[in-house]
Structure 1
Amino acid sequence: MEAPNEMITLSYILEKLRLKKWDNEFRWSPEGFHSGKGKNYQPDELQIIKTYRFEGSTDPADSSILYIIEAKDGLIGYSLDAYGVYSSHDDEEGYDNFIRAIPEKNREEQLTFEL
């Protein structure tokens, strides 16, 4: 488990995901999240199991958000986006609405999730 005062970086989390073989990137398309394993997922087939926010120390454009996501078929991976106004998903009916439709584990469950 991460120490409470330890600085967690995006590269650190991505490396932990890679070591667990959870480095499957869910990529947005109008058909849903594509896993890279040949399958598209809809929000009701997914659950956000942990969310990390990273803030750039000198440039707000470096801020990002990482969602760790589990599919109902057991596939665990992630979706990464710039945070706030720097989001690269600016289509009105797209990524933002899709990610909001994915159910999240409650806060206590997220706190007990370990990489």
Structure 2
Amino acid sequence: MESPHEMKTVSEILEKLRLEKKDAEFRMTDEGFKAIQSNQVFKPDELHISKTYRFEGNSDPSDNAVIYIIEANNGLIGYALDAYGVYSNYEDDSFDKFIAQIQHITHT
């Protein structure tokens, strides 16, 4: 069971993922989501989003970010990180469209 301590920063979440060995970083490419460490590329139907963390900067809109916890059908678990709003990491809506195609699941 997790402690009642609420994680408030991106770095805290990324450290938690590292400790749990769920720290494969996924990045959007022209071919799909690429797992950076393994160079594997995944299509939306090969992935599931199991959790989303949203961060909103109180005083600085550049602090707005979202972390998607992603599980691949081959067992790889990691994350995709994106700033959102005017500070998005992507110039077009390809990331948003790709994320929208991934099935969201909830673990019980």
TM-score under structure 2 length normalisation: 0.88
Structure 1 contact 89–96 (Cα < 8 Å) conserved:
no
| Alignment correspondent of 2:88 | 87
- Per the alignment, residue 99 of structure 2 pairs with 99
Match of residue 69 from structure 1: 70
Structure 1 unaligned spans of 5+: none
**Partner amino acid, structure 1, of 2:18:** R
| Pairs within 5 Å for 1:1-115 | 1-3=2-4, 6-36=6-36, 37-92=38-93, 94-105=94-105, 109=106
Aligned-partner SS, 1:40: strand
The answer to whether the Cα contact below 8 Å between 2:7 and 2:13 also exists between their aligned partners in 1 is no
The Cα offsets for residues 18-70 of structure 1, whole Å up to 9 and x where unpaired, read as 11111110011010011020210000000000000011121011110000000
Give, in whole Å, the separation in 2 of the partners of 1:84 and 1:17. Answer: 25
Larger relative strand fraction: 2
1:33, 1:7 → 2: CA distance?
26
How many residue pairs are counted as aligned between the two chains?
Answer: 106
**TM-score computed with the length of structure 1 as normaliser:** 0.83
Distance in 1, matches of 2:6 and 2:89, equals 29
* Runs of 4+ that moved beyond 6 A: none
Distance 2:34 2:61 in 1: 28
Cα RMSD of the aligned pairs, angstroms, is 1.6
3-state SS of 2:104 partner: coil
